[in-house]
Amino acid sequence: MKEEKIELIKDGKRLSGRGFEELRPIKIEVGVLKRADGSCYFELGDNKAIAAVYGPREMHPRHFQNAKRAVVKYRYNMAPFSVDDRKRPGPDRRSQEISKVSREALDPVILRELYPKTAIEVYVEVLQSDAGTRTAGINAASVALADAGIPMRDLVSSVAIGKIDGEVVLDLDAKEDNYGEADMPIAMIARTNRITLLQMDGRLKKEEFERGLKLAMNGCRKIYELQRAALVEKYSKSGNEE
Amino acid sequence: MGQEVIEDIRKDYVYDLIEEGKRADGRGFLDFRDIIVERDLIKKADGSARVQIGDTVVLVGVKVEPGEPFPDTPNKGILMTNAELVPLASPEFESGPPNEDSIELARVVDRGIRGSETIDLEKLCIEEGEKVWMVFIDIHTLDNDGNLVDAAALGAITSLFNVGIPYEQYGLTGEDTLHIRDTPVAVTVAEIGGNLLVDPNVYEESAAASKLTVISNADGSISGLQKRGSNGLTEEKIVRMTEIGIEKAREIREKYLPKI
C-alpha cells in the first residue's frame, strides 16, 4: 500500500461514482472454451478472468493420487500484459499462495469422494487486472466446475471488502487497493453461509472487520445470483436445442 | 497406504478426545504450550530469535543490507520475508525450491509486520531512488510439532527489536537502529469438530477442518488474517476465532515482547 495521500472518497461517493456497498459491473459467460470440459469468462469492472476445468482425469504423477478422493489442482496465473508494469511470466510467490487458498476455497463444495485417485484441474488466467483478481478467478472457476458437470454441493462466490479513507467499502478497484488502508477477500458458499476463503491485508479495527465480513457476505450473495443465472441461461438454451 | 491408515487413526484419536473436551497433552482448548523466546543467538545476523512453542522450534534471523528501491516507492526501504521448511525439521519436509506451504508461512508473517506498519520504511531511505536499506527476515524451521506460523511470527517481531543498521559495514556514515512501532502477534485458532482451540500441535493440525491465523496489534486492531484448510467456517465461528486470537495475542505480547 502506497503512502502518498490521495482522496478516495469525495462527497460521500467513491472516485468511480460507486456507493460504499456497490459492486462493479459483472459479466459472466459460461462454456467459452471448446477444448476444456468446463469453462467460464468472468468480468468484474476492469478485471477479466477466464477459467477452464479439466477432469476428473488420471492424476499424474501417481504418487500425488489420493486413494479416497479426487485431488483438486488449481493454478492462478496472470498474463504478462494484464498489469501496468509487465509481469514476468510464470508462477511467483503471490500466485502460488493465491492458488493454494483458492483451491481450499473450492475444495469444500466438490464431491471429491466420488472420484478417488483422479485429478480435477482448474486453470485460471487473469487477462486484465484491476484489483480483485483472485475473487474473479474463484467466481469463474466455480461456474466452470459446474459447466464441466463436476458434482458439487453448491457454487462458491467471492468478493473483497476494504477500507478507504476510513470507510469500509465493498469490492476495491486498483486505485482504492493501492491507496487504501486494508483489503480483505472472502469466498463463501451462499446456501450455507460458510466462509471458505478469508484473508486480510492492512489494518482494521475489530468492529470494522466484523462489519466488513457482513458486507462481503452480502456481496457474495449478489454474485451467487449472477453465477446461477448465467448457468441457467446456458443450460436452459441447450436443453431446448435437444 | 500404511502411512495413510496410521494418519487416519491418529486423526480419529485426536478428534474423539476433543469431542470429550480434552487434548492429548492435557491442555485446555485456549492454552498455548509453553513458550520460550531467546534473543540474539546468531552473532552474524543483525537480529535473531529462537522461539520454541512446545516442541516446535523456529529460528529467525534478520539481515539489513543496502540495495535499490522499487521504482514505485523510491523513498522507502524494502521488507522481504522468506521461510524455509528444511527437511531437518520434519519427515514431511523435502529439500528443494519453496513450496506453497513455505510461501504461505512467509507471506502471512510478512503481512502482519507490513500491515501494522511495524517498520517505518521511509526511515530506511539512504538516497531517494538510488539506495535504501533492505530488511530481510529469514525464517528457519528447526522442529515442526505444529503451529509454525505463530512461532515464526513471534520470532520475526522479537528479532526486529534492537537491530542496528550496519552503516559501517557498507562504508556509509550514520548510526541508527530499526524503529519498531508496533508488536503484531499471530495466533492460530483451529476448528476440530465444531470446537475451537489455539496453538494446534502437528496431530491437531491434521485433524483440523480449518484454521484461522489472526495477527493483531498492541491497540487490538487486526493486521492480518489467513484461513487455511479445506473447509468452510460460519460467520459466528470466525468472529469468535478473531476474539480469541486478539485476546491470546495480548497475553503473549505482555509476557514476551517489549512495550512500545
Beta strands A182-189 and B210-216: pairing type? unpaired
Q: Do A201 and B111 touch (CB under 8 A)?
A: yes
Question: For residue range A166-182, what is the model confidence (pLDDT) as tens digits?
Answer: 999 999 999 999 999 99
Closest CA to B38 of B127, B218, B182, B161: B161
Of the residues A2, A113, A206, the best mutation for testing chain B's interface (the one with the most B CB atoms within 10 Å of its CB) is A206
Measured between beta carbons, the chain B residues lying within 8 angstroms of A201 are 111, 114-115, 224
Give the B-side interface with A, CB within 8 Å: 1, 4, 71-73, 76, 98, 100, 103-104, 106-107, 111, 114-117, 122, 212, 217, 220-235, 238-239, 242-243, 246
Task: Determine the pLDDT at residue A2.
Answer: 47
* Number of Cβ atoms within 10 Å of the Cβ of A225: 11
Task: Determine the pLDDT at residue A59.
Answer: 93
How far is Cα A28 from Cα A138, in angstroms, rounded to an integer?
13
Question: For residue range A87-145, what is the model confidence (pLDDT) as tens digits?
Answer: 999 999 999 999 999 999 999 999 999 999 999 999 999 999 999 999 999 999 999 99
Out of B122, B225, B239, whose CB is closest to A199? B225
| The model's pTM | 0.94
How far is Cα A223 from Cα B139, in angstroms, rounded to an integer?
39
Burial class (CB in 10 A: 0-12, 13-18, 19+), B61: buried
Burial class (CB in 10 A: 0-12, 13-18, 19+), A45: buried
Question: Domain map of chain A by residue range?
Answer: 14-237
Predicted confidence (pLDDT) at residue A206 exceeds the cutoff of 80: yes
A4–chain B Cβ distance below 8 A for any pair: no
Query: What amino acid is encoded at B146 in this protein?
Result: G
Q: Do B220 and A206 touch (CB under 8 A)?
A: yes
The DSSP result for chain B, as a single string, is -HHHHHHHHHHHHHHHHHHTT--TTS--TTPPPPEEEEE---TTSSEEEEEEETTEEEEEEEEEEEEPPPTT-TTS-EEEEEEE--GGG-TT---SS--HHHHHHHHHHHHHHHHTT-B-GGGGEEETTTEEEEEEEEEEEEE-SS-HHHHHHHHHHHHHTTPBP-TGGGT-----BPPB----EEEEEEEETTEEEES--HHHHHH-SEEEEEEE-TTS-EEEEEEESSS-B-HHHHHHHHHHHHHHHHHHHHHHS---
Task: Determine the pLDDT at residue A1.
Answer: 46
Rounded to the nearest angstrom, the minimum Cα separation between A237 and chain B is: 33
We report the CATH number of the domain holding residue B32 as 3.30.230.70
Rounded to the nearest angstrom, the minimum Cα separation between A218 and chain B is: 12
Question: For residue range A187-201, what is the model confidence (pLDDT) as tens digits?
Answer: 999 999 999 999 999
Let me know the angle formed at the C-alpha of A111 by A108 and A117, rounded to the nearest 5 degrees: 110
Q: Do B242 and A206 touch (CB under 8 A)?
A: yes
A3–chain B Cβ distance below 8 A for any pair: yes
pLDDT by residue for chain B (260 residues), tens digit each?
A: 567 788 888 889 999 999 999 999 999 999 999 999 999 999 999 999 999 999 999 999 999 999 999 999 999 999 999 999 999 999 999 999 999 999 999 999 999 999 999 999 999 999 999 999 999 999 999 999 999 999 999 999 999 998 999 999 999 999 999 999 999 999 999 999 999 999 999 999 999 999 999 999 999 999 999 999 999 999 999 999 999 999 999 999 999 999 98
| Stretch A52-76: mean pLDDT | 94
Out of B104, B111, B232, whose CB is closest to A108? B232
Residue that the C-alpha cell 523466546 belongs to: B37
Its domain, for residue B146, covers 2-256
Query: What amino acid is encoded at A74 in this protein?
Result: Y
Out of B73, B217, B229, whose CB is closest to A2? B73
Our count of domains for chain B comes to 1
Burial class (CB in 10 A: 0-12, 13-18, 19+), A84: exposed
Residues 6+ apart with CB under 8 A from B207: B10, B11, B14, B15, B18, B192
pLDDT band at A242 (very low <50, low <70, confident <90, very high): very low
Task: Determine the pLDDT at residue A237.
Answer: 78
Nearest CA in chain A to B239: A210
Which range, of A58-62, A204-208, A229-233, averages the lowest pLDDT? A58-62
Q: Do B246 and A201 touch (CB under 8 A)?
A: no
Q: Do B232 and A194 touch (CB under 8 A)?
A: yes
Q: How far is CA B191 from CA A102, A220, B16, in A?
A: 19, 23, 14
A67–chain B Cβ distance below 8 A for any pair: yes
Q: Do A200 and B222 touch (CB under 8 A)?
A: yes
Q: Do B115 and A200 touch (CB under 8 A)?
A: yes
The DSSP result for A118-177, as a single string, is EEEEEEEEEEE-SS-HHHHHHHHHHHHHHHTT--BSS-EEEEEEEEETTEEEES--HHHH
A218–chain B Cβ distance below 8 A for any pair: no
Task: Determine the pLDDT at residue B3.
Answer: 72
Measured between beta carbons, the chain B residues lying within 8 angstroms of A188 are 232
Q: Do B100 and A107 touch (CB under 8 A)?
A: no
Please say whether the beta carbons of A134 and A76 come within 8 A.
yes
* Number of Cβ atoms within 10 Å of the Cβ of B66: 20
Q: Report the topology of domain A14-237.
A: Ribosomal Protein S5; domain 2 (3.30.230)
Predicted confidence (pLDDT) at residue A3 exceeds the cutoff of 80: no
How far is Cα A82 from Cα A63, in angstroms, rounded to an integer?
35
Task: Determine the pLDDT at residue A18.
Answer: 96
A191–chain B Cβ distance below 8 A for any pair: no
Rounded to the nearest angstrom, the minimum Cα separation between B100 and chain A is: 6
Distance of alpha carbon B70 from its chain centroid, rounded?
25
Computed over every residue of chain B, the mean pLDDT equals 95
Of the residues B11, B226, B243, B250, the best mutation for testing chain A's interface (the one with the most A CB atoms within 10 Å of its CB) is B226
Measured between beta carbons, the chain B residues lying within 8 angstroms of A196 are 227, 231-233
Closest CA to B234 of B197, B200, B194, B198: B194
